Amino acid sequence: MDSEKIKYLQENYNLPSYRCQQLKEAFFHKHISEYTNITTFPKELRGRLQEEVPVLTTSLYKIYASQEKNAYKALLQLKDKRLVETVLLNPKPGLWSCCISSQVGCVLGCTFCATGTMGLARNLSSEEITDQVLFWQFFIKEEKIPARLSNVVYMGMGEPFHNKKEVFKSLRELMNPETFHLGARHLSVSTSGLVPAIYEFTEQFPQVNLAISLHAPNNELRVKLMPINKPYPLEKLMAAIEHYIEATNRKVFIEYIMLKEENDSLVLADQLADLLKKVSKSHLLHVNLIVYNQTDSEHIETPKEKARKFKNRLQEKGLSATIRKNLGRDIDGACGQLALKEPGRTTYFQSTNFVEVI
């Protein structure tokens, strides 16, 4: 459900403007998930809409809960029966964020990312992207979670800038005061480094957060981990980051997955610091170190103590750096683990009312 579908309903069901406002209020503010529960609508009309125009473009296939109930992963089925994953995370008390997908699969082939092993099936439409957010808003209400959805991160399946048209459209929808009404600074887009799109993103969305999946401080290593570094090497990527910072004066988040004895040495920490310190406003860079989440690849996670030493070295060099708290590892819902693979041991929900099934 989005503003375009509301317009479709208005035109095809001859709805007066006040009825459209009632739909927006029901779905986007009260988070009512079914037409039948919109009591301000005539019963007959509710029944017709329920049967003929689904609220969401996706249907729930399965949803998994982490043992601590601070992470949920949903497998959503699209109209063409393909599946896509999205994750709801609780990094801090009262703060819930969702990680959404922009593609079914991914073509980039980053060696550490489970999604990259799938290849690319297709892009998602703007509505399919924003419906993941609406799904979680419905879920939070149904499960009576005492908080609201605070942040949305484009860091699920797919490379957002490979689906630039629909991703940009979905960002505008999420910021639309008539529907989702999310602030730009509560939205984040993570890219592996499609340089031309970074410039376009900077121009069109200067207040939306930008995250860069870097993962290596030199071209030789980065090409091995991320084939996209061939057309867009670090020199071009760093120039795009410099442009974003100069144009927006806003922070850029540098994502760096820690891979044992591959990119976690102090020598490489020094190289990373040297690379990032070349940015004229390097104080606006923040390095998120991510302990690798195991997938079917040959990579191994860096020991925590070694990750701490890497972080400390960056800080000694004057950079802002933290080790990201991993949520959802037990349900394959953490960074790099999304690949439509069912976890081995979780509880899950599987009904329109999210009733727990053991």
Tell me what the pLDDT averaged over the chain comes to. 90
**Other beta carbons less than 10 A from residue 223's beta carbon:** 15
Round to whole Å and give the CA distance between 111 and 295.
Answer: 10
**Does the structure show a pLDDT above 50 at 349?**
no
pLDDT at 336: 44
Q: What is the reported pTM?
A: 0.90
**Residue 170 pLDDT > 60, yes or no?**
yes
Task: Indicate if the alpha-carbon torsion angle 126, 92, 112, 245 is positive or negative.
Answer: positive
Q: Give yes or no for residue 131 having a pLDDT over 50.
A: yes
CA distance 43 to 58: 24
Predicted local confidence at residue 326, as pLDDT: 67
Catalytic residue among 203, 301, 335, 342: 335
Q: Would you say 173 and 124 are in contact if contact means Cβ atoms under 8 Å apart?
A: no
Query: Helix 17-24 crosses helix 3-12 at what angle (to 10 degrees)?
Result: 140
Closest CA to 336 of 285, 302, 288, 291: 291
Between 157 and 118, the more confident residue is: 157
> Is the CB of residue 330 less than 8 Å from the CB of residue 70?
no
In tens, the pLDDT along 97-106 reads 999 999 999 9
Whole-angstrom distance between the N-terminal and C-terminal Cα of the chain? 31
DSSP-derived 3-state class of residue 224 = helix
The yes-or-no verdict on residue 196 having pLDDT over 50 is yes
Reported as type and span, the H/E element at residue 8 is: helix 3-12
Q: Which fold has domain 1-55?
A: DNA polymerase; domain 1 (1.10.150)
Q: Which of 251, 160, 249, 169 is nearest to 204 (CA)?
A: 169
DSSP secondary structure, 117-146, as one string: GSEEEEEPPHHHHHHHHHHHHHHHHHTT-S
How many percent of the chain have pLDDT more than 90? 82
**Residue ranges of the chain that CATH labels 3.20.20.70:** 57-351
Question: Is 351 exposed, middle or buried, given 0-12, 13-18 or 19+ CB atoms closer than 10 A?
Answer: exposed
57-351 under CATH 3.20.20.70, yes or no = yes
Distance in angstroms (rounded) separating the CA atoms of residues 243 and 251:
12
Model pLDDT, residue 346 = 39
Interval 104-126: pLDDT, tens:
999 999 998 877 777 899 999 99
Least confident window among 153-167, 295-309, 330-344: 330-344
User: DSSP 3-state assignment of 321?
Assistant: strand
pLDDT, tens digit (0-9, with 9 covering 90-100), for 39-93: 999 999 999 999 999 999 999 999 999 888 889 999 999 999 999 999 999 988 8
| pLDDT for the residue 332 | 53
The CA distance from 15 to 40, in Å, is: 13
| Angstrom distance (rounded) from CA 168 to CA 170 | 5
Q: Tell whether the model's pLDDT for residue 127 goes beyond 50.
A: yes
The active-site residue, picked from 85, 127, 128, 173, is 85
SS3 category, 219: helix
Q: What percent of the chain has pLDDT over 70?
A: 90
Where are the domain boundaries for CATH 1.10.150 in the chain?
A: 1-55
Q: How far apart are CA 3 and CA 95, in angstroms?
A: 26
Active-site residue flag, 335: yes
> String of b and e for 238-276 (b: at least 16 CB within 10 Å)?
bebbbebbeebebbbbbbbbbbeebbbeeebbebbbebb
pLDDT at 203 over 80: yes
